[in-house]
Structure 1
Amino acid sequence: MGCSTRGAISVHSRRMMPSTSGRLLIGAAVGSGIAAQTAEVGGADLLLAVNAARMRNMGAPSIAGMLPCHAASAMTDAFAAREILPRVSVPVLLGVNCWDPDFTPEAALDRVAEQGFAGAVNFPNATLMPRAMRQMLDRAGRGFRREIETLARVQAAGYRALYYCGAREHAQAAAEAGLDMILLNFGWNAGGSLGHARRASLEEVGLIARDYAALVRRIHPGARILLEGGPVVSAEDLGHVARVATLDGYVGGSTLDRMPYEESVTNRIAGYRQAGRRQDELTQRQEALLRWGRGHGFSGRSKPVLACLEHLGALSRARRSLAVTLERGMPLAPVLSALDRRRRDVPQVDGRTDPGPRLSRRLFGHDAEGGNEAGLLTAPGCETIIVRDIDRALPSLQQRLARSLASGALVTSRRRRRIRVTARVIFLFERGSDEPLLPDDLHPDLVALLSGWTVRLPPLRQRVEDLSEVMAALAAEAGLDAADLPPLGAGALERLRRHPWPGNEAELARVIGRLAARGAAGDVGGTEIAAFLDDGEAARPPPETAADLEKRQIVEALWRNDFHRGRTAEALHISRKTLYNRMARLGLKD
């Protein structure tokens, strides 16, 4: 009885509900002494000592309180009497479980009275069970009717009773029994690391709450209607619902202990980690390199960025063809600006989308009756060409391109004239950082040409210390300034740093757009920023195999040349015999 011998006045005061005239009654479902003390300091009007709160403190989701892993009554009695009652002065309601084999309403009332609780709440309860289970419990005499009967006895004895209600018939029965506090529960909370998916919108919750409250007040005008659970995870959410339904109070479970704890601990640790970060001193040479990079649109000052700029600076001074390897979603404009001195629009061709004949004509030109029609390689004034995914072009075309660039001259296909190559080619390959620099399907002659002349751009996940600077640059590029975006808390920044960024800058730009739409009111925490991140990469079609590509290009060439084998072979820059052999190998029948 040590926990309940604080004197008659103290026990009586804990049974009295504070006056909340003109404001919401706020309750907190807690599972430990520190949670109870913190809730009292925060201004909670009453506390609920329930097993689900204890399970949250143990690192389990709230729903574990409904599972047969611990005896609910014994667990609740132990922590509530030992940790909560001696440490707070606000009313504490004891969670009672009507499913215990030896449960009786009289025994529940005795536990409340003997230990000094202000009253009782039905938890765990039938409301949180599936409909079929609720019906079976009710037929066995252990369902919502037994819970209402028990709470009615507690209230009749002068104690407070709070009834968890989740169905219209339950609300009606509770009102008919004269229960003074009815809690409309909308299921387990969404949000946080252990939260459930949203099953109802705030608008739906507001309309249902309004309907239930009207029903209860018609039967029992003095009843106080409280709300808990579901999509209501913030004060803004509660205000949204309260504008639709007239409420007397709110009870928070996960929203008042688990989610704030997750957020605060994450923020604290992230803050300590950031305090420990020290920017390495940069040499004058590195500072000059960063200024050069910023002039071309690069952001950041991390070691991977410095190494990349060093490499790009060296390549920009060379007047030969080279290759750039980068991941999906990375910006191309800065690297092109750095490599192309004239900084103007550069013609681009794509080995993935252009069929062999069209790509060949764009690069090498075409022999016409009046002479040679120049292609990009030999066109006057064309200094730089961007060629994407040349490995997807026909091997013969790749070989001809490699030989033309290596020799500096193009030999025309018909007249066998040599024309000087005036353009430099920048080859672009979309490659993961764990893949080789150059694709396996690239012709050996091109591999030899580009060996030592390939630069890989570091993906965003390798330079997360540059994240703030990259975000600022992307926001400025979108025409936004700091006032247009909400401030990011330490937890949000740490969550962004831990994200793998499969979409690189393109994915980060989407996050910035979502932040701009969210508005600048209040800091963004780690839990909120997680909702703005892409859940995963969008499903992408499987890459086209070399055989598929070759087959497609031959079919397109046949179609464009009216299925004339000789002209098709010429367009593909192969002999007629080679064309026949390839068609047979690829299953292209007459």
Structure 2
Amino acid sequence: MARQLTSEKRTFLVGAAIGAGMTARAAAHGGADFLLALHAGRLRVMGAPSISCMLPVADNNRAVLEFARAEILGRVDLPVFFGACAFDPRVDLEALVADVKAAGFDGICNFPTAVHFDGAMRENLEYGGGGFGREVMLMQVARNQGLQTCGYVRQQEEAVLMADAGVDVVCINYGWNAGGMAGVPSRYTLEDAGEHARQVFEAVRRRRPRVRCAVEGGPITTPEEAQQVAEASGAAGYIGGSTIDRIPLETAVAETTSAYKAVATLQKRIHSLKSEWLGEGHEFGLIGRSAAITSVVQMIRKVADSELSVLISGENGTGKELVARAVHAASSRRDQRMVAVNCAAIPRELLESELFGHEAGAFTGAVKARVGRFEQASNTTLLLDEIGDLALPLQAKLLRVLEDGSFERLGTNTPRKTRARILCATNQPLRRMVAEGAFREDLLYRLNAVEITLPSLRDRIEDIPLLVRHLLPTIAEEMNPRVQQMDASAYRALMRHTWPGNVRELRNVLERAVIMCDGDAVTAADLPVLDAVPFTGGGNVPAETAAAPAATVAEPVVREPRDERAWILAALERNRFRRGETARDLGLARKTLYNKMRRYDLL
């Protein structure tokens, strides 16, 4: 049974146009969606440029049948397309397609193609019956015999003809690839290629909305360039020939040979790469290789694509919002921006309107209707931070949203629906709050479909060196570029601290140390913050931890601030009186912080 191209629209198709079994298996291993067995690919393996396939050096169709049977068909579990040459009007297209199907190919494409010719050569080819019109006939014959089809085109009228012929994929070929040692200059820039394809694909989709559109060749020599052209044009796929076999092979052989000539340099690079390896959560900004943080990353990957609500719990400064953004980034909703609400930073009397919206006249000052966060997040993810601060009446309304997705704006009884995926974060003990009557038990059960509990920094102390290596370069670049590293004495001091403020506190300590450092390496002497006023930016620190006596190297005693004014002042000093950073440190809205500073005469 023929293997089919995926019909999933979200999948970006990648086709590998190759000429050898080894390349075919490597492309399949790398995640290619389909293969194209081309005579051009076979000639590249032999050291000739792709353009040589346009010369009468061999019977194209026989050559492709022979090498594909021997090396590709039956050896990869991917759809394989036959690169057919229709230049010879004497070839019986029905018989050719029948042979291709009998050999076990899943599809057929027109390559080499007449679109590579122009001027008198193209006119003569068309006049002799071996031009692009014959390639369109080839696609029709292939479809009639049950094969999938990929039509190569250059111009809009060619693409429309292929679309009308019913091909599965329309691929714009911009000409021979420009990159590598054997590349040729392209007449297109990346910007020109994107705009040209956009216009062509719009015309194609007006006639056949479901046809897959792809790009290939010309100025595209890297994945980044392919993505740039695809984004500009709306392409749903990319086919690579030289970019998948010749250019990577040339680069790899040159670099490997160079590495053998400079093994010491290579070893230094390997060491550098190892030092940059910061754990599997690195892509989400979750740094560390401890079992605790690895478990969190694994849980994120498991729950990301589900629609279950997720409760993220942990002390202040452990990275709850970072985890929420990681869940969103790994989900199918990643293309839409996540909506976040800090329930503790909004006055309770305004929070209901913030979440559910209101109609004009719903309350004093409501001069016009307002869309709430649940409506804003209907097709994306909604993070409710500090969910433990939600008042009981609002908890009941949130429960209804979680149960059936319905709610009403303030000032109306008209129900509305939301498809928002709900994530909640808290540093409060919700189960104890349930026992005390401060939090609804049924809401907790709804929120707690999946719980991700973030470890405190003191519970993954082995991750501190990795965190420092990750944070220090960025901090130093901004505050003191002379600083390059941290010495052993400073690492020992950091490893002995209890970190009541978790990763947020660690960042504050590093910022202070970088400023204090006079050389190129932070030492223990540059860490006065561990000897002076302790971190007070929040965090539910167990009493026995907070009261633990100093063990070594000037271990601080964690004290509560005497009052709110002292708490805010300490945070302002810690953040060099930058209000935005201080507000984030304290978990307050900037306006709330400003009002408190004015109240306590701190402006």
The TM-score with structure 1 as length reference comes to: 0.44
TM-score normalised over the length of structure 2: 0.43
Higher relative contact order (CA 8 A, sep 6+): 1
